[in-house]
Amino acid sequence: MNPEDIRYHKEHTWVKVSGRKGTIGITDYAQDALGDIVYVDLPEVDTTVEANSEITEIESTKATSSVISPVSGRIIEINEELSESPEIINEDPYVKGWIAVIEMENHSEIDDLMDASEYEKYVEEESK
């Protein structure tokens, strides 16, 4: 089940908002579609990222895929653990498998994102 307290982007990423901070990661659907993740090209702290653009790339045994940021802002923290153990994303995409924390520029971007039930419907449509 996809958690209720986070927002979802159509490129299968999520953001959990807490004040101005947004923690982002990829969804369970995305990790399942990618298969075993072997490498996360972690972004650098202090770089800025635009919503709907690539924040990093993930390599799985099947593919190399862009991770699209759901929000704009400055990266203030990255999940260093992923550099040693990228498979954490497969095991726990919504909690331990977070990728980065972004200091958000524009809170209203959240409104463009989907909630859990909308995302579930979206995934159902997409996989038809």
Binding interface with another protein (CB under 8 A): 38-39, 41, 57, 59-64
Q: How far is CA 7 from CA 62, 63, 86, in A?
A: 26, 25, 23
Give the 3-state secondary structure of residue 19.
coil
When the beta carbons of 37 and 101 are compared against another protein, the nearer one is 37
When the beta carbons of 70 and 86 are compared against another protein, the nearer one is 86
State the minimum distance, in angstroms, from the CB of residue 3 to another protein: 28
Residues 6+ positions from 73 with CB-CB distance below 8 Å? 22, 48, 49, 102, 103, 104, 105, 106
When the beta carbons of 57 and 120 are compared against another protein, the nearer one is 57
State the minimum distance, in angstroms, from the CB of residue 98 to another protein: 20
State the minimum distance, in angstroms, from the CB of residue 19 to another protein: 32
When the beta carbons of 31 and 72 are compared against another protein, the nearer one is 31
State the minimum distance, in angstroms, from the CB of residue 108 to another protein: 32
CB atoms within 10 A of CB 115: 13
Please say whether the beta carbons of 57 and 72 come within 8 A: no
